[in-house]
Amino acid sequence: MKMKSSLVLLVGLVGILGAGCTSQPNTVGKFMIEQSKATMELGKQWEAGKKRVVDGEKAIAEGKDTIAKGEARVKEGEIMVVEGKKMKEEAELIFSTRFPGQSLENLK
């Protein structure tokens, strides 16, 4: 009896597995649904790409603005250095005329 039950169970299991492996032909409706899903995924991909382009263009604009501000700051700094050196030279010249015997060379 136990063997007969096992055999029936085995045959039933093979039948169920075999039925699951066979593909049923698509109906027009199923085909349309699959096409819609594929099109929806393409649409999502396109929208994500569009957002990425917008974000990238914004990052480029912000980067260019930062570069422009940085270049302006560099020019400002260069002017400050030139002015500062000129101020130092003038101060040293005035010092040397007021105190002719004094030297600033050892202090630099």
pLDDT, average across residues 25-43: 88
User: What's the longest Cα–Cα distance across the chain?
Assistant: 127
Residue 60 in domain: yes
Total domain count, the chain: 1
* Predicted confidence (pLDDT) per residue in 61-100, tens digit: 999 999 999 999 999 999 999 999 999 999 999 999 998 8
Residue 91 in domain: yes
Residue 37 in domain: yes
Residue 48 token pair:
């994500």
pLDDT at 2 over 80: no
pLDDT band at residue 22, thresholds of 50, 70 and 90?
low
**pTM, whole model, 2 decimals?**
0.54
Residue 51 in domain: yes
Could you write out the DSSP letters of every residue in 79-100? HHHHHHHHHHHHHHHHHHHHST
* Predicted confidence (pLDDT) per residue in 51-62, tens digit: 999 999 999 999
Residue 87, Cα to own-chain centre: how many angstroms? 47
The CA distances from residue 63 to 6, 49, 60, 68, in Å, are: 73, 21, 5, 9
Containing structural domain, residue 79: 29-98
Residue 66 in domain: yes
